[in-house]
Amino acid sequence: MMESQTVAAFRDIADRLRADTRASRTTIRFDCNRLGLELETVAVESRSEGVRALEGQVTPKARYSPAVNWLRENRRTFVMEDCLNPWAPEVAPDDYVTELYGIRSEMVAAVFRDEDLIGLVSVHCTDGPRTWRDDEVALIERACDEVRAFLDDLEDG
């Protein structure tokens, strides 16, 4: 699969996920030497009009953020309904993340290859707290499966 086709496929995943969850923004981050990308950089995003762009933005230590550490430990989708009033302070987003990205509610899911975390898919709501439904959690998990399949194709190709 050619790199431009891969990026287009990731963009399609992000666009569909944002539309299906009615979110403000979706992002995909992943490690891929072939494309020169690493988890700390937003590789692809989809966003509503007026929502700050993050594509290409580098988040220092994203690989070790509270949410990502929680993902590694729990192996299920991280859901934060109110980022300004987190359900547990130890997993709250860093202040610079809520300020810079404008996130008020989020879901983050991991893409694993064996035991290695190789990607992240996130869904953001920027207009306030939000309760995420089970079917929306299933949508982000399906998006992770699609991202993993494309990354596996890249590695094999």
What CATH architecture does domain 3-156 belong to? 2-Layer Sandwich (3.30)
Strands, sheet with 78-80, edge to edge from the N-terminal-most edge strand? 44-47, 25-30, 116-125, 105-113, 78-80
Report CA torsion sign: 44, 50, 51, 57: positive
Where are the domains positioned within the chain?
3-156
Which tens digit of pLDDT belongs to each residue from 13-71? 999 999 999 999 999 999 888 888 899 999 999 999 999 999 988 888 888 988 999 99
Which tens digit of pLDDT belongs to each residue from 79-137? 999 999 998 888 988 888 888 889 999 999 999 998 899 999 999 999 999 999 999 99
pTM (two decimals): 0.93
